[in-house]
Structure 1
Amino acid sequence: MANIISIQSHVVFGHAGNSSAVFPMQRMGVEVWPIHTVQFSNHTQYQQGWTGRVFDSSDITDLIAGLNNIDQLKHCDALVSGYQGSSTQCDSVAYAVKQMKQQNMDSLYVCDPVMGDPEKGCIVPEEVTNKLVNHLMPIADVIVPNQFELTQFTGLPISSLETAVKACNLALSKGPKVVLVKHLHSLSDDCFSMMLATEEGVYLAQRPHLKFDKQPVGVGDLISGLFTAGLVNGMTAQNAFAHAHNAAYGVLKVTQDQNSWELQTIKAQNEFVEPTSCYAVTKVA
């Protein structure tokens, strides 16, 4: 059985960060060792606000040291990082990746560089963005940005399929071996678009847009977790991409059917094992 360290935010109510990613990975048959960067009562899109706190960066290094002390890092197949509450937490993630790879050189680092999205803009401090762009994304084996975050990493504005492909290939030249763009909002008004780039080529997956009163939070965290679990379970990058795309859509469809904007992760859990949709993945470059 594969093992994944997941260093992300956590909410008590709802599904975002580790609360969105951990259970789906477990449902796919993977052991997950969660480390929380923050713990909030709920995600930050609630108008009423939220309570909770950002953890100290030393909490991450202490927990990694503890895992190393009991000789478990050598059994870790991947580390996925998501929302980081401070620049020093980014440094602690880099430390965790180094420690993991020293014990298991075949392990993967999957970086979901949470900065923002087209509607919300930049949602992390500038110093966190700088650490993500200049330190964590270049050392990652896999990056999972949205369009905004991919542009931050490459400096290339994206307005078409051609510029999206160009940005993905530039990202690959900066260190990562795999780029999964979890949302390309400029490609279509009618479809939700995702893109995968590897040395084998560039692939596009599209599915229908679903209407919500408020946009669900935690979808990107879900996609990153599903893709990582697929990889450590032995799927090819293309198959893991297709699985993550279709499973995430299934969760969103159940969420819409429940007239909710909080992801219905538990109700839709069979999607993680056997997605009910099968939208095609097309090679575009």
Structure 2
Amino acid sequence: MSNGRILSVQSHVAFGYVGGKAAVFPLQCLGYDVDVVNTVNFSNHSGYGRFGGSKADAAELSRIFSLMEQNELLRSERLLTGYIPSGEALAAVKEMATKLRKANPELIYLLDPVLGDSGQLYVAPDVIPVYRSMLPLATIITPNWFEVEVLTDVKIVNIATLRQALKVLHEQHNVPNVVMSSIPLKPWLKAVLPSRSWTPAEEASSDDDFLMCISSSRDGGVTSVVHAGRVPLIPGYFSGVGDLFSAMVVAHYNPTSPSILSDTKPLDTVSGETALSRAVSAALTKTHAMLKLTNDYAQALPEDQRLPTDDEADEKETNRRVRRMKGRELRLIQGQDIIRGVQAVTERKMELWHGFWAA
């Protein structure tokens, strides 16, 4: 039995698991029919050093969407968009998303604004204003820390600027649900986080050994309901993790759950959850377990396939990088029981952040 249809619009690679290759199979494992539009068609992801292929331009994307519409195939209940290579191509995606939203006001649209990370843009700057104009169309957005700063023009350096960035997204851009991922556990952030019981091993670990995730759901008033969680950092270069995470969020998001009171009061006061925090908890749990499975596999490979990152050595021998990248591709097929929830893994729970908006 199908859970419904999802239209996935993002990148494609022949080899490996990033973009749509990291999202479509997991969504199918969870019972969704997935319609796929590729924004690029590459040999492999850019981390290999050598990569190439073609990028879909605005005309090609518009033609695909137009033919789907003419054939009455644009009928998905959910929409997931990821990497789009240019502002013009993104504008074509925006036009399609606008039509879907108009035809179905209940459309669940997860917009992953793939802009960059660690202070570096991955896309042309002309993409940024188009993304900003698309934010009101989205049900959920899943930017990382850097992408939130780019979208809001707010440099997040303390709790006040964190609040300011969320207010810009909720109030200025009318985004009902925001998920901020890949947040470094900085001292000022740790000092204001909701209290919880960490394991002795976690308490003894350095703050640098964790990444934070924050979810924020607008409650119909002037504030939002905020949850936070953290996961142990698994060092190393892995691609497709964000794509998998976004797919798991949109797959598990259920705004019609009986325990969710209404759109204007999204907090279940018994469980302390919202529809968003529940979906993010499931996504964090499965994504982190999949990353651990991948890392365990990579660490067991022969030494020449698990060499540490060394830019100088990689420049001298490109295949050194290739061997390492191949060993770090997500183990999606081997971990499909994790995706389906059949295999028991450590739960990564999002915790209600009482007093987040307190002055």
TM-score by length of 1: 0.92
Match of 2:46 among 23, 44, 47: 44
* Alpha-carbon distance in structure 2 between the residues aligned to 1:223 and 1:144: 9
1:129 aligned residue? 128
Matched residue SS, 2:208: coil
2:263 aligned residue? none
* Alpha-carbon distance in structure 2 between the residues aligned to 1:58 and 1:94: 13
| Amino acid in the other structure paired with 2:235 | K
**Aligned-residue CA RMSD in angstroms?**
1.8
Are residues 1:264 and 2:331 paired? yes
Cα distance change on mapping 1:189 and 1:130 into 2, 3 Å: same
1:277 aligned residue? 346
Task: Give the aligned length.
Answer: 279
1:203 aligned residue? 227
**CA contact 2:14–2:41 (8 Å) conserved in 1:** yes
| Amino acid in the other structure paired with 2:330 | L
Cα distance change on mapping 1:162 and 1:277 into 2, 3 Å: farther
Counterpart mapping for 1:166-181 below 5 A: 166-173=164-171, 174-181=173-180
Match of 2:29 among 2, 13, 27: 27
Are residues 1:71 and 2:61 paired? no
Cα distance change on mapping 1:277 and 1:163 into 2, 3 Å: farther
Cα distance change on mapping 1:51 and 1:240 into 2, 3 Å: same
The Cα of 1:50 is off from its aligned counterpart by 0.3
- Structure 1 gap segments, 5+ residues each: none
Matched residue SS, 1:184: strand
* Alpha-carbon distance in structure 2 between the residues aligned to 1:50 and 1:233: 40
2:81 aligned residue? 81
Structure 1 stretches of 4+ moved >4 Å: 232-235
2:277 aligned residue? 238
**CA contact 1:255–1:263 (8 Å) conserved in 2:** yes
**Which is further off, 58-67 or 150-159?**
58-67
User: Percent identity between the aligned chains?
Assistant: 26
Cα distance change on mapping 1:233 and 1:46 into 2, 3 Å: farther
Structure possessing the higher radius of gyration over alpha carbons: 2
Matched residue SS, 1:266: coil
What CA deviation, in whole Å up to 9, does each residue of 1:152-191 have, x standing for no partner?
A: 1111112345543442232111211100112112544221
The Cα of 1:232 is off from its aligned counterpart by 5.6
**Which is further off, 233-242 or 54-63?**
233-242
1:249 aligned residue? 288
TM-score by length of 2: 0.74
1:194 aligned residue? 213
